[in-house]
Amino acid sequence: MTLTIVSLLPSLQNTNGDAENAAVLAARARWAGLDARVVAVEDPADLPERVDAVVLGSGSDASLERSRDVLLGLHDELRRWGTEGVPILAVGTGWELLSWGVELADGRSIEGLGILAGRAVPRDGRVAGDLVVKASGGLGLLVGFENHARDYVGAEASPIGRVQAGSGNGRGSGQEGVRMGDVIGTHLHGPVLAKNPRLADAMLERACARAGTQYVPGERSVEVDRFAEAARKLQLRAAGVAASADA
């Protein structure tokens, strides 16, 4: 069996390298002794027969409507994957497009696919900088970089976790992201899975469980994770967050 990881719209939704989260999942799966491949899906016709995990990166506002038009053709599949437990990671505008909708600064609105609760709304000024989140579900601290001109409202009941440094969803919520089952939306750029191996492994554990196999991180993952941990400690220090909170 080969794990198939779908990278949705990498030509449009990869401004911050977020589409490479798919490559992170595939690499960690191979290091665990599993067969894995990444399939780039730019059009519904590109969909493989089997989908084990999905990554949707962030794009520019100029590509929002084009990306939405393509994603509408995948609406039924996205909703089915979400209900069937296929792990889905959506970052930045990719997350916003899966929400109820996106309100733009010029007063226009773009209707989302309604997969995730909440909507993106304009904020006063862009926020850019380190983002650290105390996540639930044993994921510890998630680190990354946020760069967005919109806040996110309506996800208060199902965030990824509490903001330790940065803005996150904004509007004084103190929260970041949204999680509904195995579908995750986040402002964490990076790519986030390279900096947060526990999140990557949680997605792979879920994907493998659905496929009827077991995921155990390989020796190469342990080696690489030491580099990730060193980078995380530097970012936590820069953000003024104690590394002891990462548990």
Residue 75 annotated as catalytic = no
Read off the pLDDT band of 247 (50, 70, 90).
Answer: low
Question: What is the average pLDDT across 33-48?
Answer: 97
With CA atoms as reference, report the closest residue to 241 among 81, 155, 131. 131
Looking at this protein, which amino acid is placed at residue 88?
A: I
For the stretch 159-175, pLDDT in tens is: 999 999 999 999 999 99
Read off the pLDDT band of 154 (50, 70, 90).
Answer: very high
Any idea where the domains of the chain sit in the sequence? 2-245
The whole-model pTM stands at: 0.96
Task: Provide φ and ψ at 185, rounded to 5°.
Answer: -120, 140
Max CA separation in the chain (angstroms): 51
What pLDDT score does 97 carry? Answer: 98
Identify the CATH assignment for 2-245 out of 3.40.50.880, 3.40.50.300, 3.40.50.620, 3.40.50.11720: 3.40.50.880
What pLDDT score does 191 carry? Answer: 87
Read off the pLDDT band of 244 (50, 70, 90).
Answer: confident
For the stretch 67-126, pLDDT in tens is: 999 999 999 999 999 999 999 999 999 999 999 999 999 999 999 999 999 999 999 999
Q: Is 126 annotated as a binding residue?
A: yes
Q: Which residue has the higher pLDDT, 142 or 247?
A: 142
Mean pLDDT for the chain overall: 95
With CA atoms as reference, report the closest residue to 122 among 98, 148, 137, 104. 104
Looking at this protein, which amino acid is placed at residue 81?
A: W
For the stretch 122-133, pLDDT in tens is: 999 999 999 999
pLDDT tops 90 at residue 49: yes
Q: Assign residue 33 a region (left: φ > 0; alpha: ψ between -120 and 50; beta: otherwise).
A: left
Choose, from 75, 148, 187, 189, the residue flagged as catalytic: 189
